[in-house]
């Protein structure tokens, strides 16, 4: 009969068991979705919707997205009471924290209310070319 995982781990050197235990604790704290993150924070979708001033079905949609704007992710994380940090890991370099990405368009986080971006009106198509003043 084969050995159990516990028996195999118990047979490893102490140092190796400690590394396995440390890695287990690291992975245990990871979450794989915004839904799990929200539950860890003890929030309901209705709480997030109220904080973001959107409807609850929109929160559900955000949680199901696999690709989104950083500003959306930042707003969601702040709505559950967190803060978003972006870390870049390059080969042969220590990890680097990427600061202020996404704040250029949405404004500094928590320092001032966010304003919608001004959009320029589309130019009317005409048969004439614009003249250069040069």
Bigger pLDDT: 67 vs 109: 67
Residues 6+ apart with CB under 8 A from 97: 85, 86, 87, 88
Where exactly does CATH 1.10.260.40 map onto the chain? 31-106
- The DSSP result for 35-82, as a single string, is HHHHHHTT--HHHHHHHHTS-HHHHHHHHH-SS--HHHHHHHHHHTT-
Q: What pLDDT does 23 receive?
A: 83
The predicted-structure confidence for 114-130, as pLDDT tens digits, reads as follows 334 333 344 444 444 44
The predicted-structure confidence for 56-80, as pLDDT tens digits, reads as follows 999 999 999 989 999 999 999 999 9
Q: What pLDDT does 45 receive?
A: 96
The architecture (CATH level 2) of 31-106 comes to Orthogonal Bundle (1.10)
Q: C-alpha 73: how far from its chain's center? A: 5
The predicted-structure confidence for 14-46, as pLDDT tens digits, reads as follows 999 899 888 887 777 777 899 999 998 999 999
* Angle subtended at Cα 27 by Cα 26 and Cα 32, rounded to the nearest 5 degrees: 130
pTM of the predicted structure, to 2 decimals? 0.57
Helix axes 56-64, 45-52, angle to 10 degrees: 100
Tokens at 131, concatenated:
């003249």
Q: What pLDDT does 52 receive?
A: 96
């Amino acid at each position: 009969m084969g050995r159990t995982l516990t028996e195999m781990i118990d047979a490893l050197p102490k140092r190796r068991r400690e590394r396995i235990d440390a890695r287990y604790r690291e992975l245990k704290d990871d979450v794989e979705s915004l839904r799990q993150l929200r539950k860890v924070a003890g929030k309901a979708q209705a709480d997030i919707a109220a904080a973001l001033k959107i409807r609850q079905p929109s929160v559900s949609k955000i949680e199901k997205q696999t690709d989104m704007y950083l500003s959306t992710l930042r707003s969601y994380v702040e709505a559950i009471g967190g803060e978003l940090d972006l870390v870049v890991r390059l080969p042969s370099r220590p990890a680097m924290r990427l600061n202020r990405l996404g704040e250029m368009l949405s404004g500094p986080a928590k320092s001032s209310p966010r304003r919608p971006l001004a959009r320029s009106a589309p130019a009317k198509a005409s048969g004439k070319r614009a003249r250069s003043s040069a």
